[in-house]
């Protein structure tokens, strides 16, 4: 079974973000009582919501839930770290766009590359 090391990736991303002058908040609590695995903020401005998904079961439903959480919490960008082949998204991607959320599904290595490039805006 393919898995991602959530704690290690969270720690690595947190250190990189903080090194760039950003605030990284693991287990970010939203106003409506949900949580986002990792939130990246710049002086309180919500830059990026990151979710880690380790299971291929129900992934489309998990993506929808993550999109809604990110939107309701005020994030316009959502990265989902997923170690399997990304499913065809069809209307799910359209729904994310309707809610104003840019959705990216990244493998663990692609996530590492992208997070290294994150900058304060």
Banded model confidence at residue 92, pLDDT cuts 50, 70, 90: very high
pLDDT in tens, 2-53: 667 889 999 999 999 999 999 999 999 999 999 999 999 999 999 999 999 9
Chain-centre distance for alpha carbon 118: 13
User: What pTM was computed for the model?
Assistant: 0.93
DSSP state of 87: P
Q: Which of 21, 20, 16, 19 is nearest to 50 (CA)?
A: 16
Higher pLDDT among residues 96 and 120, named by residue: 96
In this structure, the number of other CB atoms found within 10 A of the CB of residue 35 comes to 15
Contact between 101 and 76 (Cβ < 8 Å): yes
- Please tell me the number of Cα atoms within 13 Å of 52 on its side-chain side: 20
Rounded mean pLDDT, 52-66? 91
């Amino acid at each position: 079974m393919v898995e991602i090391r959530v704690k290690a990736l969270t720690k690595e991303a947190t250190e990189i973000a903080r090194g760039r002058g950003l605030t990284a908040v693991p287990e970010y609590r939203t106003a409506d009582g949900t949580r986002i695995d990792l939130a990246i903020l710049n002086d309180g401005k919500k830059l990026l919501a990151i979710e880690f998904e380790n299971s291929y079961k129900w992934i489309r439903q998990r993506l929808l839930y993550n999109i809604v959480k990110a939107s309701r919490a005020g994030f316009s960008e959502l990265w989902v770290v997923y170690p399997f082949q990304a499913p065809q998204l069809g209307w799910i991607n359209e729904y994310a766009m309707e809610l104003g959320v840019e959705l990216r599904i990244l493998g663990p290595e692609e996530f590492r590359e992208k997070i290294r490039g994150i900058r304060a805006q």
